[in-house]
A and B are shown apart, each in its own frame.
Chain A
Amino acid sequence: MKAMLSGFAAMILLAVGAWYGLNEMKFSSADKQTGVNVRLD
C-alpha cells in the first residue's frame, strides 16, 4: 500500500506545485486575459 499512498501524496504535491508555479509565472486567467484597466481589485 506504500506505493498507493506515495502516488496520492505525489499527486497532491504536483497539484499544489502546479498551482503555485503557474500563478507565480503569471499564467492565471486573470493575468492572461485581463489587464489593469478592466479589473477592479
Chain B
Amino acid sequence: MSQRSSGFGWFILLVAGLAVLTFIFRPPAPAETGTDPAALAEARKATGGAQTLEDILARQRGEEVDLSFRREFGQPGADPDAPLALAPLGGASDPDLWRALRYDAADVNVSAGGDVAKVLVQDGGMAWYEFRKGPLATYGGWLLIGTIAALAVFYLLRGRIGIDEPMTGRTVTRFQAIERFAHWLLAGSFVLLGLSGLLTLFGRFFILPTFGPELNSQLLIASKFVHNNLAWPFMLGLVMVFVMWVWHNIPDRTDITWFAQAGGIIGKNHPPAKKFNGGQKIIFWSVILLGASISLSGLSLLFPFELPLFAKTFGIVNQTGIPQWLGYGALPTDLAPQEEMQLAQLWHAIVAFVLMAIIIAHIYIGSIGMKGAFDAMGSGEVDEAWAHQHHSLWLDEVKARQAKDGKTPESGATPAE
C-alpha cells in the first residue's frame, strides 16, 4: 500500500519560512530621538523641581520622559517658615494633590464602590487604549491574514491531499456521537466568539467609517451578547473534549517518528499514527491550554473586578526571577482594579489571536485541505483507506478490537470469504 505525506509538515515549513522572512524584512525601527533626560532634569532646578514647558513639549512629541519626579508629592508637614516652603499647606501644595490623584497615590476615601471607586484617575487607561488599537489590532490582524494567505499559498502549491489507495467502501467509526457533539459545541461557540471578538476590536476601524455608527452599534450589541453568553458552551465543550481525548493525546514514541519525518516531509512514507498524530496533538494541547487561559481571563472580564488574576500571577513570576533575568525588572504587583481588567482584556485578545490562527489552519486541514477528513467529524465514519493512510496504528487497534469482539466493519461490500 503506497503511503503519502499528509502535507502537515510542508505547511509547518511554509509557515516557519514566512515567519523567518517576515523577521528578516521587518521595517527598520525608527531612529531614537528625544531630549536628553539630564537636560530636562537640569531645567527643572529653575522651577524647584516642578515640570517645565520642555517636559510638556517632549511628552507631546511622544518622547519617553522620566516622570518619576512628578510622583514626588512635596513634603507634607515640612516647616512652612523654611525658605522656599509652600505655606500655608506646609511642604504640600494643591498641585501635589492633583498629581497624587493623577498617579493614584492620593489617600482617597469613598463611601461606596470599594477599591474600584477610589481610583479617580486611571493612568494605565491610555497605555491600554494605545496598545489595544495599535500593536494588538495590527499584529493580531496581520497574524490572521498571514495565516489565511499561507494556507492559500499552501493550497496552490500542494492542492487537496487525496487518498492514494482506492476507497474500500468499508468504514470504521472514528468519533462517537458524544465526541462529535462536544467538538461542535466547542467549535461552534469558538467561531462565534472569535467573530464577535473581531467585530468588537475592529468595528471602530473598519465598519464604523464604512457603514456608519448604526450598523456598528448593532453589531457591537450583538457581539457583546454573543461573547458574554457563548462563553459557557465554549467552556463546557472544552472540558468535554479534554476529558474524552486527553488520554489519546499524551505524547508517546509514535510522535517522535511523526516529528522526525515532519509529518511526512522527510522520506516518502506517511508516518504511522494512533488516534491522533503529532500535529493533531499540538492542536489538542493548543486548544486546551490556550482555551483554558482564554476562559480564565474571560471569566475575569465577565465578572468585572471580582476575579483579578495578574497581580498574583506577576508575584509568582517575579519569584522565579525570570523577568529580572531578562532585564525587565520585577513585574508590578500593586495593580489598580482597572489595570487588572485592562491586562485581562489584552491577554484574552492576544491568546485568542494565537488560537484563532491555529484553528484556521485546523479548519483548513479538516475541510478543503484533506479529502475525507470532514467525514470523521461529520458522520463519524471514515473509509478504511483514509484511516490506513493517516492513522494506521489506530486502524490496526480498531480492527484488532473488532476481531476480538467478533464484529465486522460497517460496509456495503461483501466481505471476502
Contact = CB atoms under 8 A, between A and B. Distances in A.
Interface of A: 1-4, 6-8, 10-11, 14-19, 27, 29, 32-33, 35
Contacts of B177: 2-3
A4 B181 CA distance: 6
28 contacts: A2-B177, A3-B177, A3-B178, A3-B181, A3-B380, A4-B181, A4-B377, A4-B378, A6-B181, A6-B184, A7-B180, A7-B184, A7-B187, A7-B188, A7-B237, A8-B185, A8-B188, A10-B185, A11-B184, A11-B188, A14-B236, A15-B189, A18-B228, A18-B229, A18-B231, A27-B303, A32-B303, A33-B304
A6 B233 CA distance: 12
A32 to B, nearest CB: 7
A14 B177 CA distance: 19
B112 interface: yes
Given A2-B177, A4-B180, A10 B233 contact: yes
B74 to A, nearest CB: 34
Interface in B163-188: 177-178, 180-185, 187-188
Interface in B278-331: 303-304
A11 B189 contact: yes
A41 B192 CA distance: 31
Contacts of A7: 180-185, 187-188, 237
Interface in B217-231: 225-226, 228-231
Contacts of B188: 7-8, 11
B303 A11 contact: no
Contacts of B180: 3-4, 7
B113 to A, nearest CB: 9
Given A3-B181, A29-B304, A11 B378 contact: no
B112 to A, nearest CB: 7
Contacts of A4: 180-181, 184, 377-378
Given A2-B177, A7-B184, A33-B304, A14 B379 contact: no
B143 to A, nearest CB: 26
Contacts of B225: 19
Nearest to B116: A33
A7 to B, nearest CB: 3
B210 to A, nearest CB: 29
Nearest to B377: A4
Interface in B66-114: 112
Contacts, number: 63
A27 B112 CA distance: 18
Nearest to B175: A3
Contacts of B183: 7
B181 A15 contact: no
B117 to A, nearest CB: 10
Contacts of B231: 18
Contacts of A15: 189, 226, 229-230, 232-233
Contacts of A3: 177-178, 180-181, 184, 380
Contacts of A6: 181, 184
A1 B379 contact: yes
Contacts of A29: 304
Contacts of B230: 11, 15
Given A3-B177, A15-B189, A35-B112, 12 more contacts: A2-B177, A3-B184, A4-B377, A4-B378, A7-B185, A8-B185, A11-B189, A15-B229, A15-B230, A16-B229, A18-B228, A27-B303
A2 B379 CA distance: 8
A21 B10 CA distance: 48
A8 B189 CA distance: 8
Contacts of A17: 232
A16 B232 CA distance: 10
B343 to A, nearest CB: 19
A15 B338 CA distance: 27
Contacts of A2: 177
Given A2-B177, A16-B229, A11 B185 contact: yes
